[in-house]
Amino acid sequence: MKKLVLIVFAIVSVMGGMAQKIKGSDTVLPLSQKEAEQFIKNSSMARVTVTGGGSGVGIAALIDGTTEIAQASRKIKMDEKMKLKEAGVSYKEVIIANDALAVVVNPKNKVSNLTREQLEGIFTGKINNWKALGGDDMKIVVYSRETSSGTYEFFKDHVMNRKNFALDVLSMPATGAIIQSVGQTAGAIGYVGLAYLHPSVKAIHVSYNKGKTYIEPSMATAVNKTYPVVRPLMYYYNSKDESKVKKYIDYVLSPEGQKIVEQVGYIPVK
């Protein structure tokens, strides 16, 4: 019990009674954790807690007033805008970084290149064997984030052209779980934010021009905009809380904060 108290104290820190909660996207989670950690070190008056759960979870918390900042890997939806309006919440959006969304397979998989159309076929269930894509005669095991995830929404919008996921797609509660599952399953495929790439998985080179060119997801290809699946990462907050969150957000957008963005594995906006 003493250990738990010490760990919580070390992560949260003490800050003159002014607490800030950041909640939402698992993609943004590792970035917010690093930013908050350094922000706390720089300011003895700071107290910040960071939790994940998905973009939808963070925005829901902003609506009901249980978080100061909702971290999101997708734009706020129309129904969420309506709920915020009904709750009397005037919100502001700040883009804090950009992210390349990487499609990953098991390292043993022979397939390294896929077109957007092929990805759509895989995730809608029309293509279910790697043999059809030049790989081994092996069933494709598809992993996805759950529907509350902003990464799920972005992938559906920008890779699948709003088509529905196949019924047998395995929904995972966190990005780390996708990395682990794909790394352990020979026929697996999934998608993760750039910062989550790990040697236990292989990133697919993606083509958005029907196979003329295939681009690897990386910091360099995201920055020069040759990689086609890039998205903004956002903070949303209640306008009434601006004075409370301004110092932290200003820090994230500062040169020091943007260096952390790059260190974590995302693309700075400044």
Torsion, CA 58, CA 60, CA 64, CA 65, rounded to 10: 20
Q: What are the distances in angstroms from CA 239 to CA 32, 105, 142, 267?
A: 20, 42, 40, 26
Beta-carbon contacts of residue 99 (< 8 Å; ≥ 6 apart): 27, 73, 193, 194, 195, 222, 230, 231, 232, 233, 266, 267
Q: Which residues share a beta bridge with 51?
A: 23
Residues in CB range of 224: below 8 A, 6 or more apart: none
Ramachandran region of residue 159, left (φ > 0), alpha (ψ -120 to 50) or beta?
alpha
Residue 46 has a pLDDT of: 76
pLDDT at 18: 55
Which residues, in sequence order, are bridge partners of residue 23?
Answer: 51, 70
Domains of the chain from N-terminus onward: 2-98+232-264 (3.40.190.10), 99-223 (3.40.190.10)
State the pLDDT at residue 15. 37
Distance CA 213, CA 222 (A): 15
104 and 202 in contact (C-beta within 8 Å)? yes
d(CA 55, CA 67): 13
pLDDT at 199: 96
Residue for token pair 């970035």? 31
Q: Exposure of 47 by Cβ count < 10 A (0-12 exposed, 13-18 middle, 19+ buried)?
A: middle
Alpha-helical segments (H) within the chain: 2-12, 29-42, 55-63, 78-86, 116-124, 150-158, 175-184, 219-223, 242-253, 255-264
Alpha-carbon dihedral 241, 262, 257, 45, rounded to 10 degrees? 80
Tell me the two tokens of residue 99.
């992210």
As given in the structure block, the two tokens for residue 128 are 């279910």
Per-residue tens of pLDDT for the chain, all 270 residues:
444 333 333 344 333 345 699 999 999 999 999 999 999 998 867 789 999 999 999 999 999 999 999 999 999 999 999 999 999 999 999 999 999 999 999 999 999 999 999 999 999 999 999 999 999 999 999 999 999 899 999 999 999 999 999 999 999 999 999 999 999 999 999 999 999 999 999 999 999 999 999 999 999 999 998 999 999 999 999 999 999 999 999 999 999 999 999 999 999 997
pLDDT at position 165, please? 97
Query: What pLDDT, on the 0 to 100 scale, is given for residue 156?
Result: 96
Residue with tokens 């950690």, as numbered in its chain = 37
Backbone angles phi, psi at 237, to 5 degrees: -145, 160
User: How far is 51 from 30, CA to CA, in rounded Å?
Assistant: 10
The reply to whether the predicted model has a pTM over 0.85 is no
